[in-house]
Amino acid sequence: MTKPTRPKRSRLVFFLSLSGLLSIGIFFIEWIGSRESGSLALFADAGHIFTDVFAHIISLFALLIASKKPTAKHPFGFHRFEVLAAFLNGLLLIGIAIFILYESYLRFSGTAHVEPNSMLAYALIGFGINLVSAALLVGVSKTSLNLKSAYLHVLSDLLGTLAVVVGALIIRFTGFREVDSFLSVILGIFILKTSYGIVKESIEILIEADTSEFDKEHLLEHIRSLKGIDSVPGITVRKLTSGVFSVELLILVGKDADRDKIVLEIHKVLKSEFGVPFVSVEILSSSLKSQLEDISVRETEREFGHHGHSHGHAHDHHH
């Protein structure tokens, strides 16, 4: 298995910042164009771009926060900020889709005058800049859920601007103004579909659902081949963000097993071969495992804000 790779954070920040600046430029171009052409579609697309600028700011902030080192209070670092940013961006995309569908409904009965030549000119400029922005993010989006959500924002912008271009051409040559509404419905449905995937994946990471991305069977092949290991009854893989995992292992060994050597070898495999930065290994004998399973878990009073640990027996502290 090849070691997961993530581009240097400085490179991600550069591409995301540049894409964000391009989005700001597109917003002003389309906003001016909507005033000159009277195009509601171009104005709506400019508003769509504005939410994209906000999404870039969220993603950039999360990317910088996630680069902070782990601390005693935050042992896994701040990778989840990227996931939170992706979740917020996904919700924002859903809001955009609903707005587009609502606007398309209103346009079916719209009779406002539109100057298609001016509308087409500004839409083509926006489309060209959007292409550059999408090209910047398409590669790095595969390595980060946060960058993926930002890329989907840009992609939805690209499709929205393309819809405006097509709409302007149809209005210019046929006078059929309702085409804006049909294109907007298609675009809204597409954004809903992609945003659902982002929100779903983000929630699965935040609730620490089991991930199918990590090749557990390949890892177990490595571990079971180590001398002294009887079995691996427990393996927990948590996805912290795209390409970053933590792994907890429960290992059963024989009486004469070299436990230190086993722990060292497992850390080597996970960190060097699989690229996992956070590794926890618990080594037990079969008899101890049985005893641990017989211990019942005391019910807590956390729902009442209880933070103590009164438990009916005294502590005899010797100084």
Residue 2 has a pLDDT of 43
CATH fourth-level superfamily of 216-294 = Cation efflux protein, cytoplasmic domain (3.30.70.1350)
Q: What is the pLDDT along the chain (319 residues), one digit of tens a residue?
A: 444 445 566 777 888 888 889 989 999 999 999 888 877 778 878 877 877 787 787 778 777 776 677 777 776 667 777 788 788 888 888 888 888 788 777 777 666 577 888 989 999 999 999 999 888 888 777 777 767 878 888 888 888 888 889 888 998 898 877 776 777 777 778 778 878 888 888 888 888 777 777 878 888 888 888 887 888 888 888 887 766 788 889 888 877 888 888 889 989 988 888 888 888 898 888 777 777 877 887 776 655 455 555 555 555 555 5
Cβ(278)–Cβ(246) below 8 Å: yes
Q: Do 10-207 and 216-294 come out as alike in CATH topology?
A: no
Domain locations in the chain? 10-207, 216-294
Residues 6+ apart with CB under 8 A from 151: 134, 137, 138, 140, 141
Q: What is the pLDDT of residue 67?
A: 66
pLDDT at residue 3, as a whole number: 43
Query: Do residues 92 and 54 make contact, with C-beta atoms less than 8 angstroms apart?
Result: yes
pLDDT for res 300:
65
Burial of residue 94 (CB within 10 Å: 0-12, 13-18, 19+) is middle
Q: Look at domain 10-207 and name its CATH class.
A: mainly alpha
